[in-house]
Structure 1
Amino acid sequence: MKLYQLHSKQALPISKSKAWDFLSDPGNLKVITPEHMEFTILSGADRPMFPGQIIQYKVSPFPGYTTKWVTEITQVKEGDYFVDEQRFGPYALWHHKHFIKEIDGGVEMEDIIDYKIPLGVLGQIAHPIIVKNQLKKIFEFREKKLIKLFGTVEGAPKTITYKSF
């Protein structure tokens, strides 16, 4: 089974504390997720983020397919990073690291997602056609939404890259 990685960086002209307050609030995930995905938090987002926190969602990644997704916040370093891992959901593995660091003119947000697709060879065939494109669209939407909410740091590169292992 192949392991895939999505790596995204984006600069925002806001303070580290403002970035942390927004990104570490699970309720804001709905704000930065495309509406067509019908993302709904079912439970677990009613308090500030902490290690061991279980958050349950309902999401429709593709038309006609809705699934529950359960993640656990496994690591938190207040103001700097947090990690969420899927416990139940559409992926065979989902490990998502969120980093925030100060840069000239604001902060750089960095996401590193290591994931595996279920269904063996069928999943590997579906990855470049469906899954990779869907993740790209989600992160492009997030980028645009965050620019709309907070602006952008002039001249700062925005990157989304993929690898497979």
Structure 2
Amino acid sequence: MKIYTLHKKQNLPISVDEAWAFFSDPKNLKTITPDYMSFDILSGADRPMFSGQIIQYIVTPILGIKTKWVTEITHVVDKQYFVDEQRFGPYRLWHHKHFIKPIDGGVEMEDIVDYKLPFGFLGQLVHPIMVKPKLEEIFNYRTKKLEALFGTL
């Protein structure tokens, strides 16, 4: 079964401290998720991010179908990176690495998502026509939302 990778980078004119404060607060995920996805955190976002943290939420990614998604924050290195992994949800595998790196005038935000789809060959068939474009759309929304919140570099 194929493992796909989504890789995005964005530069923001904020400090590492500001970036970490925003991205390590699970409640801010709703802010950078498109409204049509009806993102709603059920539990686990009541404190700053830590290794072992379980976050449960409901999301409506496609066709109005509500999906429960459970992630675990598996790795955290303060002000450098964290990793979230799906424990239950729509993917066979979801491993999302978030990196924050200081650069001249701000920070570089880097996302690397490795994911595997369910349904074997059928999942591979729908990937280029449904899943990949939807993920690109979501991460492009995040890019624009972060620019609106913090500006561009």
- TM category (shorter chain) comes to over 0.9
Q: Which runs of 5 or more structure 2 residues have no equivalent in the other structure?
A: none
- The alpha carbon displacement at 1:105 in A equals 1.0
- The alpha carbon displacement at 1:24 in A equals 0.6
Q: Structure 2 matches for 1:70-89, cutoff 5 A?
A: 70-89=70-89
Segments of 4+ moved more than 6 angstroms = none
Q: Deviations over 1:43-86 (max 9, x none)?
A: 00001111000000100001231110000000000100000000
Q: Which residue of 2 aligns with 1:163?
A: none
Cα distance in structure 1, aligned partners of 2:16 and 2:50? 18
Structure 2 counterpart of 1:62, one-letter code = I
Q: Structure 2 matches for 1:98-137, cutoff 5 A?
A: 98-137=98-137
2:42 is aligned with 1:10: no
Q: Deviations over 1:73-125 (max 9, x none)?
A: 00000100000000000000000000000001100000000000000010000
Cα distance in structure 2, aligned partners of 1:64 and 1:26? 23
Taking only aligned residues, the RMSD between alpha carbons, in angstroms, comes to 0.5
Q: Which runs of 5 or more structure 1 residues have no equivalent in the other structure?
A: 154-165
TM-score normalised by the chain length of structure 2: 0.99
Q: Which residue of 2 aligns with 1:158?
A: none
Q: Which residue of 2 aligns with 1:60?
A: 60
Work out the number of aligned pairs and report it: 153
TM-score normalised by the chain length of structure 1: 0.92
Cα distance in structure 2, aligned partners of 1:41 and 1:132? 24
The alignment-based identity, stated in percent, is: 70
